[in-house]
Every structure is written in structure tokens, then in C-alpha cells.
Chain A
Amino acid sequence: MEPIVVGYLGIGVLILLLFTGMHIGAVMGIIGFAGIVYLLGWGPGLGILQTVPYNTWANYNFSVIPLFVLMGEFCFRSKISTDLYTAAYKFLGGLRGGLAMATVGACAAFAAVSGSSIATAATMGTVALPEMKKRNYDMSLATGSVAAGGTLGILIPPSVILVVYGMLTMQSIGTLFLAGFVPGVLQAILFILLIAFICWRNPSLGPGAERFGWKEKFLSLRSAWIVVLLFVIVIGGIYAGWFSPTEGAGVGAAVAFIFALARRTMGWKGFRAALLETARTSGMIFFIMCGAMILGYFFAITRLPHEFATMVSGFELNPYVIWILIIILYLVLGCLMDTMAMVLLTVPIIFPLMCGPAGLGFDPIWFGIMVVIVAETGMITPPVGMNLFVIKGMAPEVPTIQIYKGILPYVVMNIFILFLYTLVPGIILFLPALLG
């Protein structure tokens, strides 16, 4: 068989096996290994297994992943999320739908220190859902705002997923962080406006709570400032050249740790849980990463990503038609796996098609941000987006159909956002161009 045929066959078997419930990392690794053995023989195949796992794991640059996860964990365990919600609540709570807006605002702020949408949704959900229930909020609106707010967790830097994207595609992590900032903040603002609009149409959905004076409002920022500080230290330090993005993760985690010590809110139990949770999450990511690397070698031998890009470009379809097809693909994938797995699985093939030399000529930084947004949209798309299950787990008394109803406006909003950025890529690219 031609190597390229073996490559396509590999992808077919890969998709089939994924659905059998095998571990995603193992499926990718086994297909890659089998493909290499078939094409080059046992020697090179086993050789790959000898060097690739060790070199993928014992990699200095990848230390950025566990350390950013650790930073988010420390912030989470020191209960910063509660303070963030309180602050957002004092500022926005008096408005119609203010608690839902506060949820989105607090999610966006927490996103600055955390990199996972499910973690953000779970963290904020436990704080915000009981509060909204107490104030007689419509539970559709309440659950929707938590699920949607969670998806902000990934875009606003520092973002673990953008780090992984940068490593897979050899793009600058600093540039990706800069590029994610404006879309992340803009998305948060649009979500808040959306809630305002929904509650303006039907005020009974989100009655206003009590208002607070300016003194109280600013006092509530007392401990929320740490998030701003962390953000400025990590992102500022990277751009000022004090340290590399890799080191920035370590510095951020250390500052978050010192802060948690000073606040005395984490405790030994929280400290232990933060480190163990980081170990678990890192283990999960690097299992898939190892499989993705082995699969990557197989694809490199078959030249599949390049040939695939050449073939699709050869159809001479409008690039935007292909882009829409890719969006649909990601929406479907969002039902099956979380964003990290999606990126590791798809980017090695789709990136050369979109941005490679034989591809459609899209900007690699722009595409990185778009992949994250579209994958996150997949996470909240009914009926099986994964964030929805998290919310259902936290609010089992809310009928599933209500949760779907609540999330739908945000899905529509996200699709609008995707179209907007496709038409005006400058919204994503002007900040990196300005500062880069």
C-alpha cells in the first residue's frame, strides 16, 4: 500500500476505535505505532516507543502545562472564586439579571488564572447557582450563565490550551496569549449584554437584588485584586522579558501559593488537593500528548497532513466553505471529548490545511483563537455538550430541557462571534500586531 493510503486508513480506524470507549491517548499511540511498524518495520516502530514517551514527558518546555494548572488550583483552593463572585455581585447584583451577569463577570476574572472551562464552570456553579436560586432567578437563565461563563475560562490568558496549541504548531505562546485577550474580554461583555437583553425582554427571569454603596463595592475588591496582580505579573513579566512563558507559569504558581499562604484560606488539605489534582490533570494531558506525538511521527512518514492539505486546496472550493465545515466538525467533537483532547487530536491534521504552505492561507494565530472558541462552543451545544453535564450534575433538580433552553442564546451568540472574527480577523490580530 502507498504510505498515504495507510495514513487515511489509520485515521479511519482511529475514529472507529475512539467510539469503542478506549482511552484517547492509547488509541492515538497504538494507531501511530502500528502504522510505523507497517511502513518501516518493527525496529523503527519500537525505537519510536523508546524515545518518544520519555522525551515528551521529560521536556523542559512542557513544564509550563503542570505549572499553569497548579496556579489555577492554588487560586481555586484558596477560595478566590468566592471573593470574585462577591465582588461581581456587589457591582452588578442590583441590576436586572445582575446575578447572572456577575456569574459571567466572575468567570471571566477567574479565567485569568485558570485554564479549564469545566473547572471554571464547576467552581463558579457551586457559588453562583445557590445564590440565584435564593433570589428566585429563572433556573434556565441561571444554569445557562454558569455553563457559558465556564467557556470563558480558556480564552483569557494564561491559557493551558493555547500553550498546547502553540507547541503543536510552533507558534509563539506569548503572541497567542496576547491574541486571546481581546476576544476573551469581548466575549464576556457580549454575554453580559445578552443577559441584560434577555432580562429586559422578560424582567421576571432575573429580578434585581439589593444595591450596594460605592464604599462596599470597592471594599469587595480587597481580595479580588490578587487576580489582577497575578495576571499583570505573569503576562507583564513575559512581555517585559523578565522571564519566558515557561518560567512565567512557575512564577505565577509561586505567587498564587504565597498569596494562598498569606490569606490562610487554603490549609494543608487544600494544598494537598491542589498538588494531587495538578498531578492528575497533568497525567491526563500527557497520556494523550504521548499518543499524539507517536501519531504525529506516523503522519509525518505518510506525509498525510501535507497531502491532505494539497488535496483539499485542489478542490478550489471557497476557503470559507471549508472553514464552515471545520466549524461543524468541532461542534460535533464537542459532544464527545473535552477541548484539550479535541485540540491534540485535530490540530496536527487541520492546522496544515488551514495555515500550512499547501493550505488555505489562514493566519496561524487567528486560527488558534478560533479553534478554542469553536471547541468551547461545542462544549455547550445541546444535546450533549460536556459543560452541560457538569451543570446537570450540580443542579440535578433543574430539568435538562430547561438547561438546554438556557444555554441556547449563548450558542447562537458564539456562532455570531465566530462569523464576526472570520469577517474581521483584525479583532484578534491587532493586539499582537501592536505589541509584538
Chain B
Amino acid sequence: MVAQPVNTEATRPRRTILGRIVRYLGYGIDPLSNWVGGSIAAAITFFMMAITFADVIGRGIFNTPVAGTLELTEYGMGVMVAFGIAYCAFRKGHIQVDIITLFVPRKVRHVMDMVAYLCSAAFFAVITWQTWLHVWGTHKDGLTSAVLLIPTWPFVLLVTIGAAILVLVFIRDLLDAIDKVGA
């Protein structure tokens, strides 16, 4: 996982019109996925660790568990993972089988990249859309957590936002790949 080659080409758009669009998109999408996405995912991970530890210690030593650890972790996981996937996409960390892409001409490789980003963007666009519907569903049903009675829908909404950022990252990468095919 550490060894994933960083695609430096993709981070440096060309000086074409499409390349400019890619760069301008990057001004908005990069901080969203890198800074916002990474920070939120990191903060929640630390929070989940702390609350689990506090719960175990509280239960074991002071006989007072932290109320709602389970549901807070559950909500935390959803948001953390959604932003984590977006952050991972920014870092080009998602796993692809590159055995063939390594041995084909550059142009073919960019076409393959294009297809890959198009599929991932489309796939997560549908997931974002459906999760957005899920926000309304959970809102309408007034779904809450079992112990602390925290409404579910804001967390589903955060997952939707994370997924939407992910789609944006993939679209940026897609446009970049299209631009490189033309090179």
C-alpha cells in the first residue's frame, strides 16, 4: 500500500483549455478532498479511538460505561470512511491492477485511465444520488440512534457530501486523463 506509485503526471495539468479547467477545478477540489476530507476522517478516527478506550476503562474500572459508544462509533465510521475514500482518491491510493497498463504505449494508458475514472465517477455518482435519497428517507421516518436519540439523517447527509467530493475528485482525474489522451 505504501508502494502505490504516485501519478505525478496527473497532478500537473497541461497548458491546454481542458488542462486549465482541470487546474481551476483543482483549486476547489484539492483542498476539499485533501484538507477537509483528510482532516475530518483523521479527527473522527481519533475520536473513535478515544471513546472506545474511555468506554472500556469506564466500564472495567469505574463501572460506568460511556453511554452510546456503539452508535457514536457507527455514525463516526460512516462519515470517516466516506471522507477517507475521497481523501484516498486525492492521494491516488485506490487499488488498480496495473500489470497491463504498465506495458502499453502512453496514449493507450491514458485511454485506460479515462475509462477507469469514468466508471468510478459514474458508480459513485449513483451512490451519492441514492444516499441523498436515503437522507430524505431517514429524515421523513424520523430515524434516531437507540440510546442517545441522535437523528440519523445529518450523518447520512455527511456521508453524501463525502461521496460527492469523491465524485468530484474522479471527474477531475477523468478530465485530466482526457486531456492527456489528446496530447
Contact = CB atoms under 8 A, between A and B. Distances in A.
A315 interface: no
A142 interface: no
Contacts of A393: 3
Interface string A274-296: 01101111111011101000000
A283 B85 contact: yes
B13 interface: no
Interface of B: 1-3, 37-38, 41-43, 45-46, 48-53, 55-56, 60, 70-71, 73-89, 91, 93-101, 109, 112-113, 115-116, 119-120, 123-124, 126-127, 130-131, 133-134, 137, 155-156, 159, 163
A419 to B, nearest CB: 28
B161 to A, nearest CB: 13
15 contacts: A21-B97, A21-B113, A21-B116, A50-B133, A50-B134, A58-B81, A60-B70, A63-B77, A119-B1, A254-B53, A279-B41, A279-B80, A282-B41, A389-B3, A390-B3
A201 to B, nearest CB: 32
A46 interface: yes
Contacts of B127: 49, 53, 290
Contacts of A341: 95
B94 A23 contact: yes
Given A19-B100, A60-B74, A390-B3, A279 B83 contact: yes
Interface stretch (A83-91, A176-184, A242-250, A261-269): A242-250
B49 A57 contact: no
Please provide the 4 A-B residue pairs with the shortest distance between their CB atoms, ordered closest to farther: A250-B52, A58-B78, A283-B88, A283-B84
Nearest to A57: B81
Nearest to A258: B53
State the main secondary structure of chain B at its contact with A: helix
A253 interface: yes
Given A21-B112, A25-B94, A279-B84, A250 B48 contact: yes
A247 B130 contact: no
B80 A282 contact: yes
Interface of A: 18-27, 29-30, 33, 46, 49-51, 53-54, 57-60, 62-63, 66-67, 70, 116, 118-119, 122, 242-243, 246-247, 249-251, 253-254, 257, 272, 275-276, 278-284, 286-288, 290, 335-338, 341, 384, 386, 389-390, 393
Contacts of B133: 50
B52 A251 contact: yes
* Most A Cβ at <10 Å: residue of B45, B50, B112, B119: B45
Contact of A278 (B37, B45, B99, B109): B45
B104 to A, nearest CB: 9
A77 to B, nearest CB: 13
A242 B94 contact: no
Nearest to B83: A279
Nearest to A47: B130
